[in-house]
Chains A and B, each alone.
Chain A
Amino acid sequence: MTDFTPTEMMTIAAARELSNDDVCFVGIGAPSAACNVARLTHAPDITLIYESGTVGTKPDVLPLSIGDGELCDTALFTVSVPEMFRYWLQGGRITTGFLGGAQIDRFANLNTTVVGPYDQPKVRLPGGGGAPEIASNCGRIFITMALSKRGFVEKLPFVTSMGHGEGGNTRERLGLKTKGPTRVITDLCILEPAPETKELTVVSIHPGVGREQIVESCGWPIKFAETVIETPAPTETELSVLRDINARTRKAHEGTGPGKEAA
């Protein structure tokens, strides 16, 4: 078995969650890497959609932004942004939304807006973008982010997009028929909402990771499911696909700049 980093394990574990039948709304960064590894390994027919309006895109390098030319060049078709959000997302055509975030709580609510009070933030983050409606309108949501005390917090300063709200049947009470977050893939383990309470619970631990490490990396007292399995290690194929696309991406992004500082 080849050595692998926790981040590689996270991306590959996230990729495995996707199948050929998914129509997936892809967030930028870690979700985008996972979705494209899935497409280049076990799910060649997956439909990847980016909020810039590109549908059925097959990028050769990972986009830096959600609207890189690569996405449009390789898409089946490209629509306007209002059409994207109205017909395709709100219309209920997307099976899976794949999100990342700065902070998450035990009910898989996400914050990408502010740290500190909204009016006088300690840190102003970019904001929600498409996430509030992706989280409510996609059939189900996967979330991928590294497990850390700063990221996995007891209480969010701001709920940018709702996962399971206050837990239990919050989503149903608010009239939602979609499932919300069903899997959270981190660099140490995979979490699932518990069936009744919807509290995120460890169901799979990555190879070489101990329970203590998970407990210490989480900002709330994290629970483990009754049966916890070990995540299968990345295969040679998975690793080489991921490393190849990362290498192509680095080369491409460094290569397209003018010599002089401009604009």
Chain B
Amino acid sequence: MARILSLAEAVAENVRDGDTVAMEGFTHLIPYAAGHEVIRQGRKDLFLVRMTPDILYDQLIGVGAARGMKFSWGGNPGVGSLHRFRDAVENQWPRPLEIEEHSHAAMANAYEAGAANLPFAMLRGYIGADLPKVNPNIKSVTCPFTQEVLAAVPAIRPDVTIIHAQRADRKGNVLLEGIVGVQKEAVLAARRSIVTVEEIVDELSPPSPNSVVLPAWAVTAVAHVPGGAFPSYAHGYYPRSNAFYLRWDEIARDRESFTAWIKENVLDARPEDFARYAAQTSAKVA
């Protein structure tokens, strides 16, 4: 049953050194505040999992918190490279990063297999592509009915999945809306989960009987962190700060400016700061 905790408590109790951690969010609802708390608490040797590692994983990699990463697209969307990720892969700075690379279709299927408690996922994928030559975790299975050969990848089973959502009720039931990505699958595939939310309300009141709801009994911890997805966005609350994604390119380009930025905006900052950042973005748009 979900416990409603402070973000610091939720991370301290649920994220351990060496864990396989998925902080999911497909452009939308990326759990930045929680990721920063993981950095502040000095977690290390993490194996990161995410379909679209963007700025948040660039930050975790750049501070040396990750020993490896499983992913399918590692860039700053619409802007270019993740410079800290590139520095780790090309120059092993600040430490080598083991990578396990897939396609989006394979990762999405692998999360779904994890949620469904299956050992692997299959798909009609990777045909003619080179990834199977460099990733030993891409294999094949033959359909017992048609003999068609399909790609097979292991299910994703994180030790802990961390996501951000719009709201939770006081029992810890969680509602997600908008681009929901693979968050539901990622939470259900994990042993433990942390959900940060914009609001905690008396009644969840899902807008439709088909709304995406994660019940309290499928979530480990809920933390109230308004603005916690900034500079990504929370549908219905604040827009994406595309300007920040553009600016990250400069900040992350060299090691010194990156390190200075992390000190000021992560190590010396607090989860409460996120509400202010997000409010500024909303004000600019309004």
Contact = CB atoms under 8 A, between A and B. Distances in A.
A42 interface: no
B233 A263 contact: no
B245 interface: yes
Given A127-B74, A158-B130, A82 B265 contact: no
Nearest to B103: A132
Interface in B46-87: 51-52, 71-75, 77-79, 81-82, 85-86
Nearest to A253: B242
A81 to B, nearest CB: 5
A157 to B, nearest CB: 9
A76 to B, nearest CB: 14
A53 interface: yes
Given A133-B104, A263-B32, 14 more contacts: A29-B78, A64-B245, A80-B182, A82-B108, A118-B130, A124-B74, A126-B82, A128-B101, A132-B131, A136-B128, A137-B124, A253-B242, A261-B264, A263-B265
Interface stretch (B7-15, B167-175, B278-286): B278-286
28 contacts: A28-B78, A53-B179, A54-B179, A65-B78, A68-B240, A69-B28, A86-B108, A86-B109, A90-B123, A90-B124, A118-B130, A123-B86, A126-B74, A126-B81, A126-B82, A129-B104, A161-B128, A162-B129, A175-B148, A253-B246, A255-B284, A255-B285, A257-B246, A257-B284, A260-B280, A262-B280, A263-B36, A263-B265
Interface of B: 26-28, 32, 36, 51-52, 71-75, 77-79, 81-82, 85-86, 89-90, 101, 103-105, 108-109, 111-112, 123-131, 134, 148, 178-182, 184-185, 212, 230-231, 233, 235, 239-247, 251, 261, 264-265, 273-274, 276-277, 280-281, 284-285
Interface in A241-263: 252-263
B248 to A, nearest CB: 9
Contact of B108 (A85, A113, A263): A85
Interface of A: 28-29, 51-54, 63-69, 71-72, 78, 80-82, 84-86, 89-90, 109, 113, 118-119, 121-133, 136-137, 158-162, 165, 170-171, 174-176, 252-263
B108 A128 contact: no
B32 to A, nearest CB: 5
Interface majority SS (helix, strand, loop, mixed), chain A: loop
Contact of A63 (B74, B78, B104): B78
Contacts of A119: 134
Given A80-B180, A127-B71, A127-B74, A258 B131 contact: no
Given A64-B77, A124-B85, A253 B179 contact: no
Contacts of B240: 64-65, 68-69, 256
Most chain B beta-carbon neighbours within 10 Å: one of A51, A72, A80, A255: A80
A133 B77 contact: no
Contacts of B212: 80
Given A89-B105, A90-B105, A258 B284 contact: yes
B27 A65 contact: yes
B50 to A, nearest CB: 12
A160 B104 CA distance: 12
Most chain A beta-carbon neighbours within 10 Å: one of B32, B82, B104: B104
A52 B179 contact: yes
A68 B244 CA distance: 14
A89 B124 CA distance: 10
Contacts of B27: 52, 65-68
A80 to B, nearest CB: 5
B125 A52 contact: no
A141 to B, nearest CB: 13
Contacts of A137: 124
B111 A174 contact: no
A91 to B, nearest CB: 10
Contacts of B128: 109, 136, 159, 161-162, 165, 170-171, 174
A62 to B, nearest CB: 9
A67 B129 contact: no
A85 B153 CA distance: 15
B127 A174 contact: yes
Nearest to A85: B105
B104 A85 contact: yes
A133 B125 contact: yes
Given A52-B27, A90-B105, A256 B179 contact: no
Nearest to B228: A263
Most chain A beta-carbon neighbours within 10 Å: one of B32, B36, B281: B281
